[in-house]
Chains A and B, each alone.
Chain A
Amino acid sequence: MSAAGGPFGGKAVITGAGKSQVGRRLGRTGLDLTIEAVTRAIADAGLSVDDIDGIASYPGPGVPDKGFSGADTHQVRNALGLRSRWYLSAMETAGQIGPAIEACMAVTLGLANHVVVFRSVWESTAQATAGGRASVLFGGGELPPHLEYVAPFGALSAVNWLAMPAQRYMHDFGLTREQLGAIALNARHNATLNPDAIYRTPLTMQDYLSARMISEPLCLYDCDVPCDGATAVVISRREAAAGLPRHPLTVESVGTGMFERATWDQRADLTTMAAHDAAATLWERTSLSPADVDVAQLYDGFSFLTVMWLEALGFCEHGRVGEFIEGGERIALTGSLPLNTSGGQLSGGRLHGMGFLHEACVQLWGEGGDRQVPGSPEIAVVGVGGGPVGGAMLLSTR
């Protein structure tokens, strides 16, 4: 056991994970889905609700975008009658898994023994009832600050903000659409092996290349699929995890850096993102290295973000991701770096970050079923977020 290593000295571990029903237009409330995921994660850890003395979530209250947040922590506390010794919700943190990182800090410091961390969305139902994707992005009234300098020019969606650096990366480094398509095809192939994934029919390169463009160079299959669903994990203090049924997963390191201004367009190098800063801090806090990683769960809200994470985390040099992913063999379940084994958000559903942490746990516990990475993976890396949003975690079975 490498319990002495990393920023938490081995004291922060993951003891359970749970997922709600995940699907399109489920018509269930966000809180209902959240309670399902939270209680499943608690049961998975072998705990009762009364054992949970901490709770954390992204983003918390106040986000107007319909469907973006299924529940805040107080709603869950109230619904379950939680007696919390520590609680937090945050959006200005290291990506959508930031609150899981904060939970590691809380258990390490002894502020709580078992923290349930969740993320929940109901974007599919929201879009169905509010009148489409655009109405969810901006519901009317005054433009919020993050849209002030982009929406007047018709750049309403993150797909537009990310298509520009993707185009520049292709321009500078020769990344091709066929290479980028390997991310989408890999996700779809893994989704065909995952009974919980949303899109499970096989996808060919011809399907990918002939799909309609959303914002060039990104086509429909470069964009994730909005869904309804919630994901949760239980983060425990190692001493408090003794006797629990699962092998505790050690949080070996976390990536929380952001060295430049939090914008989509003013970063000095347009072909890097906050992911690069998060990844740099992840590796400087551990003696492990990219070569040690057995499985990678890297954010694919848009396929190009996975490209960013692959190079940010040092799996290949800056600008060289195209050749790394070409053909998809390296990133396949049987490759040297199995990637997004559940189908990611592109085919599995846009669980918005926490789905990757959930899947990392599933793989390290060897419970991936048909999509299980062979050879008992011991080290998993999770990288979450895009543009000015980025956070990373390194987990081990050690």
Chain B
Amino acid sequence: MKETAQAAPALAGAAAYTRPAARLLPSPTPESRAFWTGGRDGKLLIYRCRGCGHFLHPPGPACWRCRSTDVGPEAVSGRATVAAVTVNRQPWVPGLPPPYAVAMVELADEPDVRLVTNVVGVAPEEVRVGMEVEVFFEPWTPEGGSADDRIWLPLFRPVAAAGGTDGAW
């Protein structure tokens, strides 16, 4: 993913993101492991079909477009556009207090591939359809897990509000 200058000016509406105390963590499968661990190297890894060249998500053993099984994870730019957003106001997960913005973002590399994510670094109410965002990664170790079990959740922040390095928020 692209790095931006440390001194990038804050967007109007920018808000510091504080990592929550808890999240519900995925248990990576052979197919989803790349997606959940690509952040170790700062990469957003999305399955791509080598037959037709299109990306697909969620990852799986075949391309739903051309049915090729020659598929595997590849890094994308990490840039995306907000397609839809909700400000969740209901507490669901202890340690993850509302409000927070849950969004579907469409990848710049393949706009009909959407990821559900949190858009942070901006007040939840300020997240808009069409907002340009970029990925950063939040590492987590499952309870009782070791460093080998770590996963990197891909979160997004407005492009112009980006500052610092991955995971430094």
Q: Which of A150, A154, A159, A216 contacts B96 (CB 8 A)?
A: A154
Chain A residues, Cβ within 8 Å of B67: none
A137 contacts B92, C-beta separation under 8 Å: yes
Chain A residues, Cβ within 8 Å of B91: 134
Chain B residues, Cβ within 8 Å of A150: 116
A211 to B38, CA, bound (A): 41
A162 to chain B, nearest CB (A): 9
Chain A residues, Cβ within 8 Å of B89: 212-216
A164 contacts B84, C-beta separation under 8 Å: yes
A161 to B88, CA, bound (A): 10
A152 contacts B24, C-beta separation under 8 Å: yes
Binary flags per residue of B69-102, CB closer than 8 Å to A gives 1, else 0: 0000000000000011111111111001010101
Interface residues of B in 1-50 (CB under 8 A from A): 23-27, 32
Chain A residues, Cβ within 8 Å of B112: 266, 268
B118 contacts A165, C-beta separation under 8 Å: no
A154 contacts B85, C-beta separation under 8 Å: no
A160 contacts B27, C-beta separation under 8 Å: no
A274 to B37, CA, bound (A): 32
In the assembled complex, A281 has its CB within 8 A of some CB on chain B: no
Chain B residues, Cβ within 8 Å of A155: 88, 102, 116
A270 contacts B83, C-beta separation under 8 Å: yes
Chain A residues, Cβ within 8 Å of B90: 157, 159, 214-215
A167 contacts B86, C-beta separation under 8 Å: yes
In the complex, residue of chain B having the shortest beta-carbon distance to the beta carbon of A150: B116
A167 to B86, CA, bound (A): 7
Q: Which of B25, B26, B57, B102 contacts A154 (CB 8 A)?
A: B102
In the assembled complex, A86 has its CB within 8 A of some CB on chain B: no
Chain A residues, Cβ within 8 Å of B104: 164, 265, 270
Interface size on B, residues (CB 8 A): 36
B84 contacts A154, C-beta separation under 8 Å: no
A324 to chain B, nearest CB (A): 22
A182 to B26, CA, bound (A): 39
Chain A residues, Cβ within 8 Å of B58: 148-149, 263
In the assembled complex, A156 has its CB within 8 A of some CB on chain B: yes
A268 to B54, CA, bound (A): 14
B129 contacts A154, C-beta separation under 8 Å: no
A396 to chain B, nearest CB (A): 38
B129 contacts A265, C-beta separation under 8 Å: no
A276 to chain B, nearest CB (A): 17
In the assembled complex, A128 has its CB within 8 A of some CB on chain B: no
Chain B residues, Cβ within 8 Å of A261: 64
Chain B residues, Cβ within 8 Å of A161: 116
Q: Contacts A153-B102, A153-B117 given; indicate if A164 touches B93 (C-beta within 8 A).
A: no
Q: Which of B64, B85, B118, B153 contacts A164 (CB 8 A)?
A: B85
A167 to B84, CA, bound (A): 6
In the assembled complex, A138 has its CB within 8 A of some CB on chain B: yes
In the assembled complex, A130 has its CB within 8 A of some CB on chain B: no
In the complex, residue of chain A having the shortest beta-carbon distance to the beta carbon of B100: A154
In the complex, residue of chain A having the shortest beta-carbon distance to the beta carbon of B35: A149
A143 to chain B, nearest CB (A): 6
B89 to chain A, nearest CB (A): 5
A155 to B84, CA, bound (A): 13
B37 to chain A, nearest CB (A): 13
In the assembled complex, B103 has its CB within 8 A of some CB on chain A: yes
In the assembled complex, A151 has its CB within 8 A of some CB on chain B: yes
Q: Which of B27, B64, B86, B100 contacts A143 (CB 8 A)?
A: B27
Interface residues of A in 217-248 (CB under 8 A from B): 217-218
A265 to B112, CA, bound (A): 10
In the assembled complex, A168 has its CB within 8 A of some CB on chain B: yes
A163 to B127, CA, bound (A): 14
A6 to chain B, nearest CB (A): 32
Chain B residues, Cβ within 8 Å of A149: 26, 58, 115-116
In the assembled complex, B114 has its CB within 8 A of some CB on chain A: yes
Q: A-B pairs with the 7 shortest C-beta distances?
A: A163-B86, A164-B84, A168-B84, A156-B92, A151-B24, A216-B87, A213-B89
A selection of 21 A-B contacts at a CB cut-off of 8 Å is A148-B26, A148-B58, A149-B58, A151-B24, A152-B25, A153-B23, A153-B102, A154-B23, A154-B92, A155-B88, A159-B90, A160-B88, A161-B116, A163-B88, A164-B85, A167-B86, A213-B89, A215-B86, A215-B88, A266-B57, A268-B112
Binding site for A on B (CB under 8 A): 23-27, 32, 57-58, 64, 83-93, 96, 98, 100, 102-104, 112-118, 129, 153, 155
Known pairs A160-B88, A164-B102 / 14 extra A-B pairs, C-beta < 8 Å? A133-B92, A138-B24, A148-B58, A149-B26, A149-B58, A149-B115, A151-B26, A154-B24, A154-B96, A157-B90, A159-B90, A167-B84, A215-B86, A265-B114
